[in-house]
């Protein structure tokens, strides 16, 4: 539970709004440029600070204030997390088999699921701090921003490594303790589609979203 709230609250895999239902970023190689406070780090920190500030507000459940705050959280998430790119990469094995309408439906449902998971953080009471530990560029030109989330579990210190994979300062993957959203989703989506088809995947995602 602690891990889920941390990820949701910190834009980390995310976050993990799973649908029932990972790969670890490569260590920097000799010659790779590693910095502590580059533009990627600044983008991640700005997004995290904005959402953390919003999530610390605790309006009454179901109130107009809570609904307005949820809208602000959703807007902030959309500005930083490229859910469409995340979804397309997670569905890379299936994407060309889908019709344009199915592609649109999938991205819409995925977006709703992830955003609902963040909004859920409005009612959590998690306290945490974030250390920004480095920034590098991988062989594909992605910016990798590494962080450590520090919180407590059962009163004892508890840390989670969260890495953001960015293009043009927007994240399309988030890796928690080395496990990436894209790879994790890809595995799960492929299994569900193999057993139940695309319609079965959408049904599971909608059910998960309604529970959230």
Q: Look at the chain and count its residues.
A: 212
Q: Crossing angle for the helix pair 2-9 and 100-120, nearest 10 degrees?
A: 110
Reply yes or no on whether the pLDDT at 6 is more than 60. no
Cα–Cα distance for residue pair 183/31, rounded to 1 Å = 27
**Both structure tokens of 41:** 């780090």
Average pLDDT (41-50) is 92
pLDDT score, position 193? 97
Global pTM exceeds 0.85: no
- The full set of domains in the chain, from first to last, is 2-20+35-211 (3.10.450.710)
Render pLDDT for 49-106 as a digit per residue (tens, 0 to 9): 888 888 778 888 788 998 898 899 889 888 999 999 999 999 999 999 999 999 999 9
Q: Which helix (H) or strand (E) holds 132?
A: strand 129-137
pLDDT score, position 34? 53
* Phi and psi at residue 136, to the nearest 5°: -145, 175
DSSP 75: H
């Amino acid at each position: 539970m602690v891990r889920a709230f941390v990820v949701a609250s910190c834009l980390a895999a995310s976050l993990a709004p799973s649908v029932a239902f990972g790969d670890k970023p490569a260590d920097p190689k000799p010659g790779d440029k590693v910095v502590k406070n580059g533009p990627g780090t600044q983008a991640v920190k700005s997004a995290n600070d904005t959402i953390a500030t919003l999530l610390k507000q605790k309006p009454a459940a179901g109130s107009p204030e809570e609904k307005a705050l949820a809208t602000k959280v959703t807007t902030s998430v959309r500005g930083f997390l490229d859910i469409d790119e995340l979804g397309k990469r997670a569905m890379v094995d299936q994407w060309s088999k889908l019709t344009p309408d199915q592609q649109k439906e999938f991205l819409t449902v995925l977006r709703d699921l992830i955003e609902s998971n963040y909004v859920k953080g409005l009612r959590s009471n998690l306290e945490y701090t974030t250390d920004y530990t480095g920034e590098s560029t991988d062989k594909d030109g992605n910016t990798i921003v590494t962080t450590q989330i520090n919180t407590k579990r059962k009163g004892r210190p508890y840390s989670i490594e969260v890495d953001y994979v960015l293009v043009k300062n927007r994240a399309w993957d988030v890796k928690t303790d080395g496990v990436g959203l894209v790879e994790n989703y890809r595995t799960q989506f492929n299994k569900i589609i193999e057993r139940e088809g695309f319609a079965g995947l959408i049904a599971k995602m909608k059910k998960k979203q309604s529970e959230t």
